[in-house]
Structure 1
Amino acid sequence: MHSRNRYSFVWTFVWVMGFALSSCAQQQGTLGMTYRPLSHGVEIHLQNPRFTTRLIRVEAVSPTIVHVQASAEDTLVTSPSLMVVSQPAAAFRCRVQSSPPLIIFSTDSLQVQIHTDKDQIRFFDPKGRLLLEEKAYTGRQFKPVTVDGKPVYQVSQVFVDTARDAWYGLGENQLGLTNIKGQILELAQHNTEAFVPFAWNTHHSGLLWDNNGISQFSPEACTGYRELDGLELRNADGQPGALTAVYEQDFRNSGDPIVRQENHIAYTYLPDLNHLPPAFTLNPHAQVTWEGTICSPYTGEHEFLFTVGGYLKVWWNGKLMIDRWRQSWNPASLLMPVEMKAGEAYPVKIQWRPDGNESFFSVRWHRPISEDERQRLRFASEAARAIDYYFVYGANPDSLISGYRYLTGRAPLFPRWAYGFWQSREHYASQQEILDMVARFRQLHVPLDNIVQDWFYWKKDQWGSQQFDPARYPDPQGMIDTLHRRYQVHFMISVWPKFYETAGTFRSFWDSGWLYRQNIWDQQKDWVGYVSTFYDAFNPRARKAFWNLVDERLFKLGVDAWWLDASEPDILSNATIPKRKALMNPTAAGPADVVFNAYPLVNEQAFYEGQRQAAPDQRVFILTRSAWGGSQRYAAATWSGDIGATWADMRNQIATGVSFSMSGIPYWTMDIGGFATEARFQHPDPTAEQEWQELMTRWYQFGAFCPLFRAHGQAPYREIFTIAAPGTDTYNAILYTDRLRYRLLPYIYSLAGEVYLHHYTLMRGLAMDFTDDSIACELTDEYLFGPALLVNPVYTYRARSRNVYLPAHTDWYDLYSGKYVTGGQILQASAPYDHIPVFVKAGSILPLGPEMEYTDQRPADTIVLQVYTGADGQFNLYEDDGKSYAYEKGAYSLIPIRYDNRRQLLTIGQREGRFPGMLQKRVFVIRRVSPAHAWPLDLNGRAGDQLVEYDGQPIEVPLSETFHQPKSASS
C-alpha cells in the first residue's frame, strides 16, 4: 500500500496559489515535468535527461513530518513499510504553490520547496529559515542492480547540513561516538551493534531512512574505509610496497618466525583466515607484528579502523596509541585518528596476539574529510525500488524523537519489576542452582526482582525444542512457582530463533517452509557441534507457529519475560556479509538484501503480538541483542551484546547507550561487568582480583543509572556475593548502589510514564537539554538520567576523582554531599570507592521511595521529595498498577509537583486520574537542599525533614530556610 493511501482519509485543505491545480496532472511544457496535487501532498514526474529521478512524491504525514519518495521509474513501486505504522494525524492544513520549475508545499509548521530543475528538495521552518536541503542536481542517485534475479537499485541521497550542526542517533556503535557527523557507519546488524536508521541534529531536523537493507551513513565524499595498499607503505628495511609481517607461533619461545611483506591486513571474516601463512595456526600464544612506515598523499586527520579479537597494541610515530583486549571470537572495532602531512613517512608498529583458536583482525583507513565535505551527509542502501525517507521537524530534540515514535510506534510501559535489579549469568545450569542463587539474595537482603535463565537449559541436541532438560530441570513449573510465591522474583528466559536439525520441533517447521535452508544444506555446525538454522520471522505463519511453540512449552509455565538472543540474525558468527545474506535467503518478505536489518523487529513482533493475545492484561517484556526502527512498539529493550569485561569497554558503553537512546528507542542496557573476560580474571592472583572487584563496583555504579539495571557475564560471575564477601568494601559499595536504585524507583517509574505519555527519553545525551552549550554537546562520557541527574561514570582503575563538566545556564548540587556548584565549569569531582559523581540540577524535585528488596514489597506510602532550590522546578509523579495494560485506557494517576523558587513555595497539586489499588493517602517527606544547606543524601531520614499528609487534594508547602507548616493550596 502506498503511503498516500495509508493517510488518504486525513482531512486536509489544499490552498491553491499561483497556477491553478486540478485533480489531474498538468504538463508544464518545456520545463520537463508534470505534477498533480494529492490530498496532502504533490506528485511530480520529471522528464529531464540530466537526472536519474523520474518521479518524486512529497506528502505530509503530520504538520511536522513529511514523507519523501523518489523513483527512477515512471511509477512508484513500494512495499508496506516494516518500520512505519503511524495512523493519520488529526486534521491539518496543506497548501501548494506552483511557479514552475519551483513547487512549494507547506503545512502550518513546515515549508517544502521542490526545485524540479535541480532535482532538489529543501526544508524550511514556518519563518522561512532553511533547516536542511538535498544536494542539488546529483544528490539523488539510482544505480540499477539485480538482486535474486530481479531488477532493483542501489540508491543514495545526499543532504546538505547548512546549519553545520552535530548529528546524533543511528543506534548503537561501539566506537565511543555520540556525534556521528563526518563518520562512516555501516548499518548492518552485528553482535554489539544494533542500528536504528533515525538521525537528528540540534537545528530542528530529523531523518528516518526507510530502507531495511544494509545501508551506509557517511560524508558524501568518503563512502567507505580502504585497505592499507591505498597508502605508500615501506617495510622494516625501508623497501617500498608493504609492511614487514612477522608471524610467531609462540611469542614466549624463540623460534623461526614466518616473515612476509604485506600491503593489507584483512583477517576480518571466517574465509579470510585461510590467507594466514599455511604453517601458522591461531592459538592463545600466537603473535603477529607488522612494522614499517606509512605515507599519505593527504594532509590532515586520517582515521584508521581496527577490527580486533585478542590483544592489540599499536605504536604510531613511536607512541603507544592502542592497548586493548577483546574476546577472540567476537571482534571489536576501534578508531585511531592521527594527523599526517602529505609526503611524510610515519613509523608504525602493530602487534596482534589472537588469544584464541579462532580470532579476527583487520586494518583499514580513510583520508581526511574537509569541513565542507562533512556538511554533505549521505544515506545509501544496496537494494531498493525507490528512495524513501521521512523528514521530521521539531522545536527541540524531544520533539524530534516524538516524531520518530509517531511514525514507528509508541513505547509501552514495562511491568514495574523490570525497572528493578536483574541477575543473570552465562549460564545457570540447573533448577537447583537458580533456586539456591535466589535464596542467597533473599538471605542477604540484596534487592532483586528478576532472575534470568540463559541458553542451554534444553537437552544438548535439542536447541529449538523450547523444552527444559528434565535431568537438570525436573520441575520447571514448580521452580517458577517457587520463584514467584516464595521469593517474589520474576523469571526471564533466553529464546533463540534457532533450531537444531536434531530437535524434535525441526521437522514440522522445515516441512512447512518456515526455516532458512542454506545452513542445513551446508551442514555447518555451531560451536556446540550441531547443524542448525533459524526460522523465517518475516513469515506471519512462522511467527505465529513459533509463538505457539513458546507459549505451550514456556509461557504456560509462568515465564515472565523474553530474552531474544542472536536476533541479528546470527546464524553463523563471523561469516561475510554476502554469506550472512545467503543464509537468510529467501525470506517471506523478499531477498535478504532488501530486509536484512529488520529481522529483530519481526522476531519481536512474534512475541509481543503472541503474548498480548494469550494474556491480554500481562505486560510484555522483551530483551533483544539487536533492534531496528520501531522495536520500541513491541515492548523491546536492547542490550549492547557480548562486550568485553574491560575498562575500555565500560567507557565505550556510556557513548553506546547514549547514542542508542538518542535514536528514539528509550530502553537500553548492557552486561554489567562486561560479558567475556580475560584469562587473568578467570583465575586471578591477588592483584587481578583487586582490579576485578573494582571494575565490577564501578560498572554496577554506572548500571544503576541506566534505563534497565542488569548484571550478566561469563565466569567469574557477577552476583554480588561471588564478586566479594559480605562486609567487604566491594560488597558494601555494590549493595549501596543496588539499594539506591530501588529508592529511586518513584523517579524512574515516573520517567517511564513520561516515555509512554510524551515520548520521553531517560538516558539523555547532553545535547538534548543543553543544545546551546558547545562543550556539553560534544561530551561522550557523561549524560543526564532523566531531567535531574547528571551521571559521570568512573572508568579508570584506581581513580578516586574524575573531570566533570557541569553544563552552563544552570547550577548543580552534588547528589551525595548536597554541595552547591555553579554551572559552566569543569571540576575535579570526588569519586570515592562507594559511588561515582552524580550531580542534581538546580530546580529539580527528586522523589525517593521506601527501602525495598523487590518492587512490590510495599506500596510507596512514604515518598521523600528532595527539592533542590535555585530555579523553578516541576515533576509529575506517575503511578499505575504496574502489571496490566489498563494504563492504555487511562487507568493511571499523576500528581503534579511544582516548586516556585522566587516564592520558595512547593505545591503538591491535585491528583489527576485513578486506578484500582491506588493509594488514597500517603506521606510526603520534604527535604529542602539549598546553597546554604548542603545536606548530604540520607536514605534513612533525619531531623529537619517536614512531613506532609496527602490525600489527593492540593497542598502548598513554604520552603524558607526554616520550614513552616503546610497549608491548603486554596487558602
Structure 2
Amino acid sequence: MHIHHKYLIAALMLLSSMGLSAASFTRSGNFVTVEVAHPGPNDPQWVRLQVIGKKIIRVEATREKAFPEKQSLIIVKQPQPAFSYSVSEDSRDVKINTSAVVAKVDKQTGLVRFYDENGKQILAEDTGGKQLFPYTVPEREIGVDSHLTDVQKHGWTWLLRFADNKGEALYGLGQHQANELNMKGLNEELYQYNTKVSVPFVVSNKGYGILWDSYSYCRFGNPGENLPLNRAFRLYDKNGVAGNLTGTYTDRDGKTITRAEDSICYEVSLPALALKRNSDGDVSHLPAGFKLNGAHVTYEGYLEAPVDNNYHFNLYYAGYTKVYIDGKEVVPEHWRQAWNPNACRFNVPMRAGQKVKLLIDWLPDGDVSYCALRVAPPRSEQRQQQLTVWSEMAKDLDYYFIAGNTVDEVIHGYRTLTGKAQVLPKWALGFWQSRERYKTSGDIEQTLAEFRRRHIPVDNIVQDWNYWADDQWGSHQFEASRYPNPQAMLDSVHQMHGRFMISVWPKFYPNTKNYQELDAKGWMYHQSIADSIRDWVGPGYMNSFYDAYAEGARKMFWRQMDENLYTKYHHGIDAWWMDASEPNVRDCTPMWYRKALSGSTALGSTTEYFNAYSLVNADAIYNGQREVNPNQRVFLLTRSGFAGEQRFSTATWSGDIGTRWEDMRAQMTAGLNYNLAGLPFWGMDQGGFSVENRYVKAQQLYDKTGEENADLKEWRELQTRWNEFGCFIPLYRTHGQWPLREVWNIAPESHPAYKAIVWYDRLRYRLMPYIYSLAGAVHFSDYTMMRALVMDFNGDDKVYNVKDQWMFGPSLMACPVAKYQARSREVYLPAQRGWYDLLSGKHYDGGQTITADAPLERIPVFVPEGSLLPLGPEMEWSDEKPAETIDLYVFAGRDGSFTLYEDENTNYNYEKGRYATIPMTWNERQHTLTIGARKGTFNGMLKNRKFNVILVSPTHAQGLDIDHAVKGKLVKYNGSRVVVKL
C-alpha cells in the first residue's frame, strides 16, 4: 500500500511531539524520508532519497512541512525498481544499499554521502552543503503578464556543495564559449543565450555525475554574483590617485574625453520605455553623445585587493578588446559583433594591499558596443575546488546522483533519467549547405544544382529566416514574389536527392493570424509589445514570443506550422531549424528584463522556468510531427538546449559565433562539454557566423580585381581549417553571413582551400557506414559520438584538459589546426594504446607528445590500436548507393571490435526491431578478423556484400586513401559468420 509522503512526514512529526520513539526514517515504495535532527537556520528539515536504479539515487531536501508535488520537465517517468534494496540505520546514519551503491544520510545534519559496493566513498556533501533560502520573485521580473498566484511567486534559492575530490576533473554544463574543458575549480553562469547553452548536469572522471532538477538561472563554482570592480577592489586612476580608474575616449576625429570610472560595466542596453527601471551595466552610462564607432577607448589604473586570492575575472566584450595586467597581455585581442557580445575569463593571483596595474584596450566597431569587466567574490582555494551549485529559484532542492564505472556509464544513467536519443535520419549525418540567407526559391534550387554539377557531396540545404513577407514574421508563409511555387521548389530539391530544412522561430508579429490566434488563448508574452520593442527588419516591427510552457500553445504552434508548411506541402519539409529558442526576445538586455520579456509562463514565473524553453518548444514539434506523420523521422536543429532534449530528436548548434581563430578554438570545448552533458548531437556554423569587416572588404576587392590580399588569404585558410574540423563532429554544416560559404564562393576550384574542403566532404561520405553505426549506438547503447579523451582514456591524467583533440567514435582521434599559418601541431597520444597516423599508417607508441605534420590540405588524425574502421563507396548523397563493398581497415596491436549498424535510414521502423547489426572482432594473438553473423533484418537490406579487409600494422604502414583503390583481402559475406586470417 502506497502512503503519500506528506502523511508520513505528518506522522513522524506527531510521534515526535508525543515523545514516542520511532525509527529515524520512513520508507514508502522506493522513497526513504529522514527528519533532520539538528538542522541549522538554512539547512533542510527533511531529506528524502528515492532509489531510481542500482546506481541512481535521487536526493530531495526541503525546509517546508512537506515535499512539493511537482511534475519534472526533464525526467521521464521511471519504473519502480525491479530489484531489492535494503534500508537500515545506526547511531549516525540512515543507510540505503542497492548492492551497487550505498547512500548514507547523517541523521543529525541531513548530509548525504555516496559509496561504491566495496565501501569506497565516491562523493560526499560538505558541511553545510545543502542550504535553502526563501525567495520571492521581484516584481520587475514578472512584467506585464502578471497572472502568477501567490504560491508561484515564492520558492527557494538553494546552494549545494560537495567535499573536494582530490585529483578530480569535472565536465559538462552544456555549451559555453570560454574555451574551458575541465571545469574543476572554474566558474560558469548557467543561463540560455545566443551561443550559450546551459545544462544542469556535471560528470566526473571519478565515477559519478550530478543532475539537478532546476530550470532557473544557476551558477556552477562560485555561488556569488560577479562584482563590479569597485565592489571587489580599491581602485586607483592611471596616476595613482585613489577612488576610480581612468577612462579615455578618443573618437575617429581625434576628439578625446577623459573621465573617472568607478567600474567598467557597459554590457546591457534597455529600450527607451524600460529605461525608467534602469540597470547596472547599462550602456547609457557611457559618455553622452560620444560616437563609439571607430573610436579608441582605454580603461587604466590600479586594482588593490582586500585579501590574498586567485581572482576570477569575466570580460564581456564587443568590438576589438585586449586586457593587460602589469603589462602582461592576459586577454589577447578578441572580437565579437556588437549585437551579440561574448565573454571570456582569466585568473589573476593577487596579494592583499598590493596594487596591480590594469589596462583594457577597446576598439568599438559599431554605434552601440559593449565592454565590461567583473570579478567573482574572493573565496578560498579549498572552496573553489569543491563542486558547488547555486540555483536561483526552485520548489525544493532536488538532484540525482548517478554512479558509473566509466563516463559512458554515467551518461547512460543520465539518459535513463531524461530519455533516449533517437537515431538521426541518415541524411542528417551528411553535409549541409546553409547561408544567411537564401532569398528566393531560385537561390535554393540553383545552389543545390551547382553541388550536383560539380559532384560535391551534399544532403541538406537550409532555408534560413525571412522567406516570409517583411511584415509577416510568424505567418510561416512564403512570400509569393520570391517563392512563387514552394511545392515545386521542394519537389526540385528532392528530385536532386536533397533534403530541405526550414527556419521557424517562436516569434510572431502582432498583425499575423498566428499571433492573434495564440494571443486569444493567452499564449503570447506581452512585455515587448508594452515596451514597443522593434526588431531589425525594415523599419523595425513590434514582436513577441509564444508561451511554449502551455500544452495548448505547443499544440497550436505545431498546428500552425503543419497547416502552413508541413502537410500543406505534402510533408516535403524534412527538418526544422528552431532559431532563437533561448528564447531570445531581445539581445543585450539585463537578466531581470529578459525574464520580464519571457513571461510569466503557464507553469509559473519565468524566474523559476528560465532555462527550459527550448525543451518544451522541441516537444511541440517532435510530438506534433510524429502525430501527423508517424513514420518519418523528425529532426530539429535548435539554437538552445536543455537536459532531456535528446529525446525529441533534437540537435543544437552553437549559435551566431564570430569568425575568428579564437572562436574556432572555443567551439571545440563548447562541443565537447555539450556532449559530456549527455546531449549527443551538436554542430556549429563552420567558418563562423559573423564576419569582421576586413574579410568583407577583402572579398569585395577580390570580386572587383581578382586579387587575393593578406586578409582574403587568411579568410580562405580559416574556412579550410574550420571545414576540416567540421568533418569530425556529429553535424557537418557550413553557415554564415557574407562572404558566401559555398565552397566555390570561398575559393576557385584550383585553389588549395577548395580542394581541401571538397576532400573532407568526400571523406565524410566514405565514412558513412562508420558514422551511421555511431548514430545507431547513440540510441541503442546511449553512446556519445564526439568524445573528450577522458571518456576513453580515463586514468591518463594528461588527457583531462586536452581541449583540441577528441575521439570521433572509437576509431578516429581528430586533431584540428586552429592557428593561422600553422603547418604542424603538437598531438598527445594517450598512454593506454599505440597509435597510427590515419593518412600515412605510421605507428607511434602511446604516452608521448609528438609534433604532427599539418599541411593546409590535411589535419592530423590518429587511430588507436585495435580499431576497425569501415569505409563505404564514394557518394554524392547519403543513400545514393548501398555499401556493397566495404573497405574495412584493421589497425593491429591489440584486440578490438566494432558493430556495423544499418536500417531503413528515414523512418521509425527501427523502433519495431527492423534493423540489422554485424559484429566484427579482431583477435590480436591469432591475427584473425571475425565478421560475425548478422542479426536482424529490414526492408532493402543487402543480403550479400564484400569486405575488402586492409591490415595496418607497425610493419605494414598502410594509410587511408580515398582517391585510389587499396588492395586488401576480399571477403564475401552473406550474413553468416566468417573468420579471416591476416
TM over 0.5: yes
Counterpart residue number, 1:730: 753
Counterpart residue number, 2:631: 617
Please state how far the C-alpha of 1:227 moved relative to its aligned partner. Answer: 3.1
Give the alignment partner of residue 536 of structure 1, picking from 525, 547, 569: 547
Counterpart residue number, 1:88: 79
In structure 1, give the amino acid aligned to 2:670. Answer: T
Give the alignment partner of residue 388 of structure 1, picking from 364, 379, 398: 398
In structure 2, give the amino acid aligned to 1:173. Answer: H
Q: 1:698 to 1:599 in 2, by over 3 A?
A: same
Counterpart residue number, 2:130: 139
Whether contact under 8 Å (2:864, 2:891) holds in the other structure is yes
Counterpart residue number, 1:521: 530
Give CA-to-partner distance per residue, 1:548-578, whole Å, 9 cap, x none: 1101111122110000000000011111111
Whether contact under 8 Å (2:52, 2:81) holds in the other structure is no
Give the alignment partner of residue 465 of structure 2, picking from 439, 455, 459: 455
Give the alignment partner of residue 546 of structure 1, picking from 547, 552, 557: 557
1:883 aligns with 2:883: no
Whether contact under 8 Å (1:814, 1:837) holds in the other structure is yes
Counterpart residue number, 1:494: 503
Give the alignment partner of residue 464 of structure 1, picking from 463, 474, 477: 474
1:635 aligns with 2:649: yes
Q: Distance in 1 between matches of 2:617 and 2:39?
A: 43
Please state how far the C-alpha of 1:186 moved relative to its aligned partner. Answer: 1.4
> What pairs up with 1:828-847 in 2 under 5 angstroms?
828-847=851-870
DSSP 3-state at the match of 1:548: helix
Give the alignment partner of residue 207 of structure 1, picking from 210, 230, 233: 210
Greater displacement, 532-541 / 360-369: 360-369
Q: Distance in 1 between matches of 2:200 and 2:735?
A: 28
Please state how far the C-alpha of 1:38 moved relative to its aligned partner. Answer: 1.6
What are the ranges of 5 or more consecutive residues in structure 2 without an aligned counterpart?
Answer: 6-10, 139-147, 271-281, 702-708
1:359 aligns with 2:362: no
> What pairs up with 1:373-522 in 2 under 5 angstroms?
373-485=383-495, 487-522=496-531
Counterpart residue number, 1:166: 169
DSSP 3-state at the match of 1:97: strand
Q: Distance in 2 between matches of 1:23 and 1:381?
A: 29
DSSP 3-state at the match of 2:348: strand
Please state how far the C-alpha of 1:753 moved relative to its aligned partner. Answer: 0.7
Q: Distance in 2 between matches of 1:146 and 1:709?
A: 42
1:956 aligns with 2:956: no
Counterpart residue number, 2:684: 670
Q: Distance in 1 between matches of 2:114 and 2:3?
A: 20
DSSP 3-state at the match of 1:813: strand
DSSP 3-state at the match of 2:608: helix
DSSP 3-state at the match of 2:189: strand
Q: Distance in 2 between matches of 1:876 and 1:54?
A: 51
Give the alignment partner of residue 243 of structure 1, picking from 232, 242, 245: 245
In structure 1, give the amino acid aligned to 2:324. Answer: W
Give the alignment partner of residue 43 of structure 1, picking from 30, 33, 36: 33
Please state how far the C-alpha of 1:228 moved relative to its aligned partner. Answer: 4.3
Q: Distance in 2 between matches of 1:535 and 1:301?
A: 44
Q: Distance in 2 between matches of 1:493 and 1:204?
A: 41
Q: 1:25 to 1:741 in 2, by over 3 A?
A: farther
Counterpart residue number, 2:668: 654
DSSP 3-state at the match of 1:876: strand
Q: Distance in 2 between matches of 1:853 and 1:48?
A: 69
Whether contact under 8 Å (2:871, 2:888) holds in the other structure is yes
In structure 2, give the amino acid aligned to 1:433. Answer: D
* Identical columns (%): 43
Give the alignment partner of residue 824 of structure 2, picking from 801, 824, 845: 801
Please state how far the C-alpha of 1:89 moved relative to its aligned partner. Answer: 5.3
In structure 2, give the amino acid aligned to 1:729. Answer: P
1:260 aligns with 2:259: yes
Please state how far the C-alpha of 1:166 moved relative to its aligned partner. Answer: 1.1
Q: Distance in 2 between matches of 1:749 and 1:146?
A: 47
What are the ranges of 5 or more consecutive residues in structure 1 without an aligned counterpart?
Answer: 6-21, 960-971
DSSP 3-state at the match of 2:301: strand
Greater displacement, 311-320 / 558-567: 311-320
Whether contact under 8 Å (1:762, 1:785) holds in the other structure is yes
Q: 1:276 to 1:31 in 2, by over 3 A?
A: farther
Counterpart residue number, 1:13: none
Counterpart residue number, 1:780: 803
Give the alignment partner of residue 73 of structure 1, picking from 53, 64, 79: 64
Q: Distance in 2 between matches of 1:573 and 1:70?
A: 36
Whether contact under 8 Å (2:300, 2:360) holds in the other structure is yes
Whether contact under 8 Å (1:219, 1:378) holds in the other structure is yes
Give the alignment partner of residue 613 of structure 2, picking from 580, 599, 624: 599
Whether contact under 8 Å (2:865, 2:894) holds in the other structure is yes
Please state how far the C-alpha of 1:113 moved relative to its aligned partner. Answer: 0.5
In structure 1, give the amino acid aligned to 2:195. Answer: T
Greater displacement, 759-768 / 498-507: 498-507
Counterpart residue number, 1:60: 51
Aligned residue-pair number: 937
DSSP 3-state at the match of 2:387: strand
Whether contact under 8 Å (1:747, 1:847) holds in the other structure is yes
Q: Distance in 1 between matches of 2:176 and 2:855?
A: 30
Q: Distance in 2 between matches of 1:600 and 1:463?
A: 19
1:118 aligns with 2:129: no
Q: Distance in 1 between matches of 2:205 and 2:543?
A: 46
In structure 1, give the amino acid aligned to 2:608. Answer: V
Whether contact under 8 Å (2:102, 2:117) holds in the other structure is yes
Q: Distance in 2 between matches of 1:839 and 1:477?
A: 45
Q: Distance in 1 between matches of 2:383 and 2:257?
A: 43
In structure 2, give the amino acid aligned to 1:938. Answer: D
> What pairs up with 1:568-587 in 2 under 5 angstroms?
568-587=582-601
> What pairs up with 1:937-952 in 2 under 5 angstroms?
937-942=960-965, 944-952=967-975
Q: Distance in 2 between matches of 1:717 and 1:32?
A: 73
Please state how far the C-alpha of 1:389 moved relative to its aligned partner. Answer: 0.7
Counterpart residue number, 1:184: 187
In structure 2, give the amino acid aligned to 1:157. Answer: L
Please state how far the C-alpha of 1:943 moved relative to its aligned partner. Answer: 5.7
In structure 2, give the amino acid aligned to 1:268. Answer: E
Q: Distance in 1 between matches of 2:187 and 2:392?
A: 15
DSSP 3-state at the match of 2:610: helix
Q: Distance in 1 between matches of 2:14 and 2:646?
A: 40
Give the alignment partner of residue 287 of structure 1, picking from 285, 296, 313: 296
In structure 1, give the amino acid aligned to 2:532. Answer: Q
Give CA-to-partner distance per residue, 1:355-402, whole Å, 9 cap, x none: 112222110123665442234222121112211111111111000000
Please state how far the C-alpha of 1:906 moved relative to its aligned partner. Answer: 0.5
In structure 2, give the amino acid aligned to 1:542. Answer: A
Whether contact under 8 Å (1:78, 1:386) holds in the other structure is no
Q: Distance in 2 between matches of 1:527 and 1:315?
A: 35
Whether contact under 8 Å (1:228, 1:363) holds in the other structure is no
Please state how far the C-alpha of 1:306 moved relative to its aligned partner. Answer: 0.5
In structure 2, give the amino acid aligned to 1:330. Answer: N
Q: Distance in 1 between matches of 2:651 and 2:4?
A: 31
Whether contact under 8 Å (1:214, 1:597) holds in the other structure is yes
Q: Distance in 1 between matches of 2:129 and 2:765?
A: 55
Q: 1:835 to 1:343 in 2, by over 3 A?
A: same
Please state how far the C-alpha of 1:254 moved relative to its aligned partner. Answer: 2.4
Q: Distance in 1 between matches of 2:287 and 2:227?
A: 25
Counterpart residue number, 1:15: none
Q: 1:158 to 1:934 in 2, by over 3 A?
A: same
Coordinate RMSD, CA, aligned? 2.0
Please state how far the C-alpha of 1:146 moved relative to its aligned partner. Answer: 4.7
DSSP 3-state at the match of 1:579: helix
1:156 aligns with 2:159: yes
Q: Distance in 1 between matches of 2:966 and 2:167?
A: 53
